[in-house]
Structure 1
């Protein structure tokens, strides 16, 4: 059987039509790294309100209760211990390590820091990091999620902005896109899991003090007072100290270093914020592992990082270098207003 010449000769279409590859199946997106998507639902908004209001009411009640009945050493010890576990989980873990890559850590240390930060009850790891990276990208400018200068420079506008930066922004339904701002954490299965387990770590954080208090005193009263001081008061105090970095430290304080925003140093918050309130240097050099770089500037977070480094658990720590500090330091005091220097910052260094 012979083949017809017309059938054997390729048609013009067969010659000129490019070969299109079969469409590939897109790789499945990893599960959400936070409790919800990029919009807060009603249930989450209500839960957020509950976790803000109830500890705050306990904080208000703490002063008259301590004045009238006192506080036991056990309750005080639980409050202080869990406060600084959560605080350093945020400052060393969520902030300096996961957000800015100020040091690298071995895997068990990364997991421990992620859990400790989650126990501060300030939101899932991935959401916290995404919000903070977005804050640095647009610090005190359009797009900053919590700038106190959001509404302007007048006194009424600043008062409104301080409320927004301290607390109001938390109720904004629009969420920072995690895939855009924290892809390194979204792509890490272990950290993504811890971020999604925020409710679990919140439960552990709130339940452990009363469990310890009840077992030590072998009484329900011991469990109740431990829950009041070690859980509710501790969480409220840590929340408002952390939020003060967003509000107070961007509205006042000395500014000895050049930054492209209004970040300032507020000395009286240094101990409770574990060194975070030396905020001006942080915005001038975001990846630096130490924020309090001048003499007598207490920074317990930097001290903890130093201990971890000596133990061999963290490495490649970005300690401040004299020449780098000198290049960023102002001449003439640096107490004033908005700087004109708009240099780009190396704000996001993934771990």
Structure 2
């Protein structure tokens, strides 16, 4: 029989040092948000949102050029697919196996969305799936009940309010596999640098492309601030809108629904009902006409030999998860 561990005077000091320096987690900071983190979060949510609000009058005033559109679309596409393909389908759900170069590239691309370090993001999302729309879900719009007032409050919480919760999801509990991956830990700890690159690089490109200060400023406004805000709110809409409304053709134990008008902006993430019905599936838009650009990219990566063991949808599994007329009648009777 193994003797019980005996506490030593050094043990608490080592544990405290590990928490302070975050030696065995993948991000800066501990499991509780500090005041400076809350302030930084408020700035990165608030300032891009103000830019998004001002976008229409500024565009109307002539401060939007084709260079700004190109740069913004490129950065949005890279960062958005980094979140959808990398942070979500790969690192959270293991929908395929990439080679090392693609793995690192997807982790970097997702970090450019400025939605948090990769390991922190994955831990939050895995906890969401464990408790989806139940107690313990970090961002369910049904948190406070199903009355109009409760749902309104819950919707705000699911969309953005949850980000300001002081208690953070334990990475050691929800993402131990990523903490063992030295490449991903390194990218996760590089998050502040990648944020700086994501914010400033569009301005540098815009300035060099137009060879003017004005080109740098307009690129910063459109391809940094507006792009960041739009991508943030599209991602958060999967938490809020897609768990409040939408078609539910597949069985799931939560309120996840398909919202077609978010499909292109979300890179296929808004086909959310199938995802919660079969989380490891590499394709979310599995029905006719459901555009899923992330799945198309994964298909391309597979053809190039960069990924393997892709978990494509299987017809038998889809049919088994289909909601039948009998299921709908039973649900209606229960309500």
TM-score normalized by the length of structure 1: 0.88
- Take 1:243 and 1:106, find their aligned partners in 2: how far apart are those partners? 29
Matched residue, 2:283: 290
Correspondence 1:114-263 to 2 at 5 A: 114-263=107-256
- Work out whether residues 234 and 262 of structure 2, in 8 Å CA contact, stay in contact via their aligned partners in 1: yes
User: How much has 1:92 moved relative to structure 2?
Assistant: 0.1
User: How much has 1:340 moved relative to structure 2?
Assistant: 11
- Work out whether residues 253 and 335 of structure 1, in 8 Å CA contact, stay in contact via their aligned partners in 2: no
SS state at 1:129 partner: helix
**What's the Cα RMSD here?**
2.4
- Work out whether residues 119 and 201 of structure 1, in 8 Å CA contact, stay in contact via their aligned partners in 2: yes
Correspondence 1:19-58 to 2 at 5 A: 30-58=23-51
TM-score normalized by the length of structure 2: 0.92
Distance 1:21 1:290, change over 3 A: closer
Higher helix share: 2
- Take 1:331 and 1:68, find their aligned partners in 2: how far apart are those partners? 53
Segments of structure 2 that go 5 or more residues without pairing to the other structure are none
- Work out whether residues 123 and 170 of structure 2, in 8 Å CA contact, stay in contact via their aligned partners in 1: yes
- Work out whether residues 268 and 292 of structure 2, in 8 Å CA contact, stay in contact via their aligned partners in 1: yes
- Work out whether residues 256 and 333 of structure 1, in 8 Å CA contact, stay in contact via their aligned partners in 2: no
1:87-140, Cα deviation, whole Å (9 max, x unpaired): 000000000000000000111111000000000000010100000000000000
1:130-161, Cα deviation, whole Å (9 max, x unpaired): 00000000000010000000000000000000
SS state at 2:325 partner: coil
Q: Stretches of 4+ moved more than 4 A in 1? A: 18-30, 333-341
- Take 1:55 and 1:337, find their aligned partners in 2: how far apart are those partners? 45
